[in-house]
Each structure stands twice: as C-alpha cells, then as structure tokens.
Chains A and B, each alone.
Chain A
Amino acid sequence: MTPEAIYEKLKAEFGEEAVPEFHPVSDKNRDAWIAVAPFEIERISEYLKTTGGLSFDYLECITGVDYPDLKKIVVVYHVYSYTQRHRIVLKAFLDRDDPAMPSVVNVWSTANWQERECYDLLGVLFEGHPDLRRLLMPDDWEGHPLRKDFEEKEEYHGIPTVRPNPIELFKIQIPGKEAKAS
C-alpha cells in the first residue's frame, strides 16, 4: 500500500483531527510521514497492526528529536509490515515543557526498551508504560542528554567530566609549530 493510501485509510477511520498532516516524499524528507495527534497514538497503532491490508507488525525504531526553536519534542515511529512489505513513518509533536504521550507497549512489545531509552535521553513520559526507568544513563543522572540545551555537569560523583588538554598538561612540543614560530 502506498503511504497516501495508508493516510487516507487512517483519515477515514479516525478523522482529520487525529491525523492532521501528510507529507509525501520530497526534497525535505526521503520517506513519507504522517503527523498524528499524540493522544491518539495507541488507538492508531492498534488499528495499524490489526487491520488486514495494513498489518504493521514490526516497529522498527522510536526516535525522539528535540526542537527548542519550535518548542516541541517530536517522537518518530518507523513501522514496517512483514506480510504486506510496506512502511510508514509516524510523527507525534509534543509540548517541549511537558512531553507526555501514551505508550504503545501493549501493541508492540519491542516499544518497551525503545520508549525507556527515549525517556532516558529526552525526558518523554510514556503513560501506561509498565517500567519507565532510565536505561542507559545511571539512575541518579540529572537531565536528559539528547536535549539540545543539556549542559554536562563538571563532575559526576567526584569524577571530572572534562580532561585537561594533554598537550598543555605535559608541555608537549609540536615540532611543526615550533619551527614556524621561530
């Protein structure tokens, strides 16, 4: 099924409000994508997975992207169907100050760890997730590193995060530079 047909099908089922935008393949995006209302994501995913002809059974990837200039955090879903051999990209635009949306763990189990990673690195709260803990960063880490305004603290539990430049520290002479100066 073409992305256009998938979009039309979703629009007929859920109405314009749940799937407000469709972007075909263009110079700006090499894969067609559909904007979805964040709080409809679980219903839409369920529909995508269970409806015959769509049967999107494989959730490839969940990506969070931070856009401070738009004041948005975008969660991108790449989904594929093994039986129908087609793909679609869904994007949910969340408020940057309060990023929250329903979890899709009940639809695709693989979302479990991917959502945890997204929460860990971008601070998106997935409501209904069974075990929303940090995954990659330590439990007591402050902040979400993949946010654009994240600033690393100078030290973590007494371990400095910045290292002095070894060239200056050990007064290493770089021959090329020396020759040029003299």
Chain B
Amino acid sequence: MSEVIFTNEMDEEMTLNMGPHHPSTHGVLRFIISSDGEIIRKAVPDVGYLHRSIEKIGERNTYPGYMPYTDRVDYVAAMFANECWAMACEKLMGITVPKRASYLRVISCELNRIASHMIALGAMAMDIGATTPFPWALRERERINDIIEELCGARLTYNYHRIGGVSFDMPTGWRDKCLKFLDLFDPAMVEFDRLITLNDIFVKRLANVAVITAEEAVDWGLVGPNLRASGVKWDLRKDDAYSVYPELDFDIPVGTGRYGTVGDSWDRFDVRVRECRESSKILRQALDKIDEHPEDDILGKLPKKLKPDCEAYSRVESARGDMGCYVIGKGAEEPYRVRFRTGSFTAMGIIEAKSPGLFLADLVALIASLDVVAPEIDR
C-alpha cells in the first residue's frame, strides 16, 4: 500500500490542473489536484466536456431511429450499447429474438469485448510508461476491426443490432476468418503475458497501488472487471443470464491478489487479460453452435406500430460492466424518457474518494486501471 505521509499544516499546498487535454486521461476530462509535493491530498474530477445529451436526443427520435446514436454512448465498445437499447425495446414491446440472431449478438459483442479490452490494456501499459504493448494490442484490435467491418460495414460505430435481431447474417467464409483470428489470438495473449502482464517491472509498478476493497467497490457501484478485480464474483452473463449465455460454458475471472492485495491496479489489469481468454472460449463455442439454427432467421416479428405505452429497464454486461438502459414509452413513436447507466460514470465517482494519499503518478495508474472512457461518462 502506498504510504501516506502527512506533513504539518504549515506546508504550502500546490494546486495542479491535469487536463482536459492530458494524454493519459483517456479522452477529454480534467482533474483539479491539490497536492503536497508528489502526494495527492485531493483530486476532484471535472467532467462534462463530451456531454452530447444522448438522453435528450432519445426523446425526439423514433425507437429504431435511435439505434445509431447509441453507438456514441461508448465508442470503444459500441455493440453493447446497441444490444442494451435493442433489449430495452424488446422488453418494452414483448418481442422475441430468434436464436440465430442471439448467437450473432453474442459473437459480435464478444469480439467487441476483446477489442475494447485490448485498448484498455495497451493504453494502461502506455500510461505507466511501457510503449511497446500498445501497438501489440492495437494489432489484435485491427484484426477484429477487419472482421467486424466485414460483418456490418463499420469499424467503430457499428449500428449492427436491430430491435428484434441483427441487421445482417454472417457472410460466406466469415466463420473461418473468425476462427483463424482466434487461432492467432490465443498464442498472442501468451506472448502478451510474457511481454507485460507478468513483467517484473510492470508488476512492481502496479501491485498494491490504489487498492479498492470489495465493500468499497460495491458501495461505489463499480461494475464489470473493476468489481471482479476486487474479488466479487459476479457477472451479469452468468448470474442474471440473458441472451444465449446460459448455453455457453465459460469462467468468470476474479482478482486474486497474486502479487499484492486483492483489488489493486495489477488485479484490474490481470482480470481483463483473463477475460479476453474467456471471450475467446465463448466465441469458439458460439461459432460452433450457431449452425444449429436456420440461416437468415435473424429478425424477430415486430408489431406493426412501435408505439409502446410501457416502461422497462434492460441490462447487459458491457466491456465496462453492467450497462443499463431505462426507457419510458408513452404511446408515441418517440420514447418519453431514455436513460443510460454506464460503468465509467460510476467508476469516475470513486476517484475523488480514493485519491488522498496516492502519488501523482499512481493517480494515472488508477484512472487507466478503471478503464474509463470519457464519452461514456458524459454521454
């Protein structure tokens, strides 16, 4: 644990402004830090630079017409917001999704999860000062981008899911490309471990830094890999399963405190690495099982008019954890109120509470290890 050193009150306090355009703040966000030398007394985050009023935009778009906007909630992992919105609308109007479409959703989402974690891992290593892993991680991400581009035509803002299913079936030969990628990816992760995850300098830099205990994580509403790194074994895909996840066999990695304390920055890195492997496992199974369901049956039966008078809350396990979408319909073509609950938003809340006593350089490690994406905070 980083040792907290308090000096007497006569010492001068330094106010430091970090951001909005700091390379290691992952997008446009700002911290106002009061520090005593290198030790932080308080770091207050200032967000809102990327606020695009996604929720207000939702109130003036039709239900299907809002789908491309949901891409922009979290552009690093756009599939999940797509799925969350589609699931909310399906729950609202009682639409059943064909099995094949559910499998395509799982496949696209898990590919996206790997891509998103690759950015998170590479960027975190780079923030700490190791530049090599970043292009290594991006290389894998580029391969996924190519695969997804072939599936839906876009590399970043996919707009792939539809209310009731997905927009396209797999193109011919796409499955083999996926499997070929996975055959390359699994050894690449072993290589990645040797390069950075188990690297002695990296481990020493991150072990015992910014420890978040399980109680704190739950209290502050941390979700996804951040929660699991603190030792809480809870994953929406398993514990409150949706889609076809119950048919697939996979493990949930949790923080072990292998080199320090459970819930330190290294654990948060390691959980993401292991999650990538689980995603790879899920992908292999899903690509195998998808053929049990007829081709081109990818869109469920929609009601003639999409004018629900109802409210619903849907959840998906996104790359940044439990993402929720709350929709209220009032019998019009547009929703009355849309609300997105995102993992980065709650993760940012904990930084102010965790920062006192950290070194300035460790704050960078904390932000990077929480994997916050600025547009997902501000929406």
Residues B234 and A82 in contact, CB atoms below 8 Å apart: yes
Residues B221 and A60 in contact, CB atoms below 8 Å apart: yes
Binds B, one of A7-15, A22-30, A40-48, A174-182: A22-30
Would A85 and B313 be within 8 Å (CB), given that A58-B221, A136-B48 are in contact? no
Residues A29 and B349 in contact, CB atoms below 8 Å apart: no
Residues of B within 8 A of A82 (CB): 218, 232, 234
Residues of A within 8 A of B53 (CB): 145
Binary B-proximity of A99-126 (CB < 8 A = 1, otherwise 0) = 0000000001110111001000100000
Residues A89 and B313 in contact, CB atoms below 8 Å apart: yes
Residues B309 and A110 in contact, CB atoms below 8 Å apart: no
Residues of A within 8 A of B328 (CB): 65
Residues A63 and B221 in contact, CB atoms below 8 Å apart: no
Binary A-proximity of B280-316 (CB < 8 A = 1, otherwise 0) = 0000000000000000000000000000011111010
Residues A113 and B339 in contact, CB atoms below 8 Å apart: no
- The one of A29, A66, A134, A135 that contacts B310, using a Cβ cutoff of 8 Å: A29
Residues B313 and A109 in contact, CB atoms below 8 Å apart: no
Interfacial residues of chain B within 217-237, with CB under 8 A of chain A in the complex? 218-221, 232, 234
Closest to A28 in B: B310
Residues B234 and A60 in contact, CB atoms below 8 Å apart: no
Closest to B53 in A: A145
Q: Does B337 contact A (CB under 8 A)?
A: yes
Interface residues in B, total, Cβ within 8 A: 38
Would A78 and B324 be within 8 Å (CB), given that A63-B337, A109-B349 are in contact? yes
- The one of B55, B313, B346, B353 that contacts A31, using a Cβ cutoff of 8 Å: B313
Q: Does A21 contact B (CB under 8 A)?
A: no
How long is the Cα–Cα vector from A59 to B219 in the complex, in angstroms? 8
Closest to B311 in A: A29
Q: Does B322 contact A (CB under 8 A)?
A: yes
Residues A135 and B324 in contact, CB atoms below 8 Å apart: no
Q: Does A18 contact B (CB under 8 A)?
A: no
How long is the Cα–Cα vector from A76 to B92 in the complex, in angstroms? 17
Interfacial residues of chain A within 135-173, with CB under 8 A of chain B in the complex? 135-138, 145-146
Q: Does B56 contact A (CB under 8 A)?
A: yes
Q: Does B240 contact A (CB under 8 A)?
A: yes
Residues B324 and A136 in contact, CB atoms below 8 Å apart: no
Would A60 and B322 be within 8 Å (CB), given that A109-B353, A136-B51, A145-B56 are in contact? yes
Q: Does A1 contact B (CB under 8 A)?
A: no
Binary B-proximity of A60-84 (CB < 8 A = 1, otherwise 0) = 1101011000000000101000100
Q: Does A4 contact B (CB under 8 A)?
A: no
Interfacial residues of chain B within 18-60, with CB under 8 A of chain A in the complex? 47-48, 51, 53, 55-56
Residues A30 and B310 in contact, CB atoms below 8 Å apart: yes
Cβ of A75 to closest chain B Cβ, rounded Å: 12
Residues B324 and A61 in contact, CB atoms below 8 Å apart: yes
Would A108 and B51 be within 8 Å (CB), given that A28-B309, A113-B346 are in contact? no
Closest to B49 in A: A136
User: Residues on A close to B: CB < 8 A?
Assistant: 27-31, 57-61, 63, 65-66, 76, 78, 82, 85, 89, 108-110, 112-114, 117, 121, 134-138, 145-146
